[in-house]
A and B are shown apart, each in its own frame.
Chain A
Amino acid sequence: MFALETLSKRYDTGVLALDGVNAEIAPGEFVALLGPSGCGKSTLLRLLAGLEAPSAGRVAWDGHTGAPAPGEIGFVFQDATLLPWASAAENVYLPLKLRHVARREAAPKIAAALAQVGLSEFAGTRPKGLSGGMRMRVSIARALVSEPILLLMDEPFAALDEFTRHKLQDDLLALWARTGKTIVFVTHSIYEAAYLANRILVMSPRPGRVAADLQARLPQGPHRRASGEYVALVERITACFREIMPT
């Protein structure tokens, strides 16, 4: 369990990105952070990861403050940002390598992470030889390899074509069901948030606040995208935005 306690962030430039965000996130939740561009979603994620210090408030981990230890956070960015000179396996190895885990000891973990994203056959391929979707899978494997307690994803599928995006969304859902990881997933797509998450934090335009906290329970399986629950959820979220967006 971790908690965001009246978290605020004002950048040196004077921009107030977040203004008193409160939320508690329980282990195993799949939380979507949904909001318009510039509302501070990325900022919130960076605060969670300890990459940026809050101006006020704090992120409490199981009640105590302090940055998470190296490797406890898995981060997936909008671009895959792989090392272009390294193979898929070497890219996945990176987080362990940085923490001085020997290659031999890491090998089974690397293999497992690549298997989780269905890329076992491409272990030796460099980014040049992978499609956009495959690169993103490698990026996800890289985030999973250190078995993080929290997986943070910042619009990871926004740059992919729709077919690939749907496929990766389904894969991510399967991965979540299998591993029970706690995931915070940033998106500015209402449909993506509704489809993936079991909880949706709707953020107001800048300065970002939590404007609504919605629970979701969609049916599993192939009919999820066409289910009545999904449509109803999209409608609920849309109604939220109609209230908070300036006209």
Chain B
Amino acid sequence: MRRMVEILAPYGFGALALGGWQAAVWGLHVPPYVMPGPAAIVSAYFGAHGVLDSGLLATLAVTGAALLVAAMLGLVLALLMAASPLFRAAIQPWAVIIQVTPVVALAPFIIIWVNQPFACLVICAVIVAFFPILSNTAAGLAATPQELLDLFRLNGASRWQILFQLSLPYALPDFLTGLRISGTLALVGAVVAEFVAGSGGFASGLAWQIIEASYRLEIPRMFAALVLLGMTGVAIYAALGLLEHLLLAKRNRA
């Protein structure tokens, strides 16, 4: 019973907040171009769902592509760093520098250098997203127990056997944690890049929808795009959580 209440609590709170919001907008006669209520936002979505849905798809495409590239890049770099201390020493500071430089500041350069808008947005999102995968995977690979490495060596294991039967499975949980963090960061990166690129960019993503709607003072549509972005973030986080659960379920069972 207690648990049930706890599970339902966030929905209850959400419903209450939305209700209160709607009531305030109605009661105080706030015009929708200042602050639309939930009902106006929902109807704005259905009024423009063709554009908004394709905007969602465009942003999702950038996010998905960026996450894929970030995962491969992070994994490969982590493996190379684990294999060669020299490579680690050479790469690590640069990875950190790229990570700490705000992507908003980097994006204009990338927009100048990369003419293809899709590639440009993906690169920006990758820059934001790859670091957690790299650092988590590298930490996981480095944490392979020495005893097991010894055991593999005692039985004449090859480098590849150590990599595929020991180090990679050991780093899998860390990789997946990194992936989950990177998933939402890729979305952030995609949105930031769309904002910076503006009409010079992709000109169809959800972030662009927000900019365009603001030019036209269509505040409910801005909100509708914002809500879609929020829901996308939650969906990505949940999907990667599910992936983690499925891949690790075996080792968590007795």
Known A79-B147, A81-B148, A85-B169; judge A126-B154 contact (CB<8 A).
Answer: no
Q: A83-B148, A85-B251, A128-B252 are in contact. List 18 more A-B contacts (CB 8 A).
A: A49-B154, A51-B154, A69-B156, A70-B154, A70-B156, A71-B156, A75-B154, A85-B169, A85-B250, A94-B151, A95-B154, A97-B165, A98-B161, A98-B165, A126-B250, A126-B251, A128-B251, A146-B155
Q: Do the beta carbons of A95 and B151 come within 8 Å of each other?
A: yes
Q: Chain A: interface residue count, which band?
A: 20 to 34
Q: Give the number of chain B interface residues (Cβ < 8 Å).
A: 20
* B150 to chain A: closest residue by CB: A51
Let me know if A77 is at the binding interface, CB within 8 A: yes
- Kindly state the separation between the CA atoms of A94 and B162 in the bound complex, as whole angstroms: 12
Chain B residues engaging chain A, CB cutoff 8 angstroms: 145, 147-148, 150-157, 161, 165-166, 169, 250-254
Q: Are A98 and B155 in contact (CB under 8 A)?
A: yes
Query: What are the residues of chain B within 8 A of A51 when measuring CB–CB?
Result: 150, 153-154
Given known pairs A51-B150, A75-B150, A83-B148, the reply for A126 and B155 (CB within 8 Å) is no
Residues of chain B lying within 8 A (CB to CB) of residue A84:
251
CA distance A94 to B155 in the complex (A): 9
Enumerate chain A residues within 8 angstroms of B147, measured Cβ to Cβ: 77, 79, 81
CB of A238, distance to nearest CB on chain B (Å): 31
Most chain B Cβ neighbours within 10 Å, of A98, A126, A130: A98
| Interface hub of B148, B151, B161, B253 (most chain A Cβ within 10 A) | B151
Pairs across A and B, CB under 8 Å, 8 listed: A73-B154, A77-B150, A81-B145, A81-B148, A85-B251, A95-B151, A98-B152, A98-B156
